[in-house]
Structure 1
Amino acid sequence: MTKIFEATVLAVGPEAAGMITDANMLILFGEEAPDDLAEYCYKIDNKNLSGSISVGGRLLVDGVNCEITAVGSVVEKNLRGLGHITVSLDGSPQESLPGTLHVAPQAELELKEGTVIQLFA
């Protein structure tokens, strides 16, 4: 597999971990996240995507492997433009919203400042 994206978490919003626990999702946003959203987000330092995100690819979060099961129609555009995507941890084979990436994690995810997020195609 080829690495097409890598970012480091710069800041963790006070409600971000609760989104994983309560809603089974995490929200990534670039450094310019609006204040009203930033409290729910993991701010990342990069939005350079060098390839296409597709089903069967991999999202790695500090080495925890997550198979990509569905890709919303604007995931790539939003990641490149804003560093913003919602990652649903439900393993659904069908997209729910255009900006959502669905994955099936192999273990529980815990993100913190310094966490490395990678995408592989």
Structure 2
Amino acid sequence: MSVFETKVQAIGSEAALFKEDNMLILFGDNAPEGLKDYAYQIIMNQAKEDITTDMVLSICQTSFVITAVGNLVTKNLNQLGHITMSFTGDSTANLPGTLYLEAKEIPEITEGTEIAIA
């Protein structure tokens, strides 16, 4: 059962630049102008419970083990639709709004791409 589900509804013109650094930025409808170009805009949905390292994030058909969770991830996701996803495998959450995931190739993300946490 999914704890959180969303779809990408728009892609900022510079969003793919962060893939080179193994990062993605998600933002809901209200992304500030300075960040909109760098973010994948998602449909705002609420997480059904706190996100933890016992969970897995899926992008399309690719799953990523969650390795660390910043203490603001669930709150920011629920209020702003905003988190940074770091695909580095770090086991310590150094940044409060960042979700850390296992280090493996990030799939191509297009409008309509589904993202889920279970």
Q: In the TM superposition, what is the alpha-carbon distance from 1:109 to its structure 2 partner?
A: 2.1
Structure 2 distance, partners of 1:106, 1:65, is 10
Gaps of 5+ in 1: none
Count residues with an aligned counterpart: 118
Q: Given the two structures, how large is their TM-score scaled by the length of structure 2?
A: 0.95
SS of corresponding position for 1:86: strand
Other-structure match for 2:51: 53
Could you tell me which of 11, 21, 24 is aligned with 2:22?
24
Structure 2 distance, partners of 1:89, 1:114, is 21
* Stretches of 4+ aligned residues off by more than 6 angstroms: none
Other-structure match for 2:10: 11
State whether residues 87 and 104 of structure 2, in contact with CA within 8 Å, keep that contact through their aligned partners in structure 1: no
Structure 2 distance, partners of 1:41, 1:28, is 5
State whether residues 11 and 39 of structure 2, in contact with CA within 8 Å, keep that contact through their aligned partners in structure 1: yes
SS of corresponding position for 2:16: helix
Structure 2 distance, partners of 1:113, 1:105, is 23
SS of corresponding position for 2:85: strand
Q: Given the two structures, how large is their TM-score scaled by the length of structure 1?
A: 0.93
Q: CA RMSD in A?
A: 1.1
Q: Residues 64-109 of structure 1: CA distance to partner in whole angstroms, max 9, x if unpaired?
A: 1000000000000000000000000001100020000000155432
Structure 1 distance, partners of 2:106, 2:28, is 23
- Identity %, equivalent residues: 42
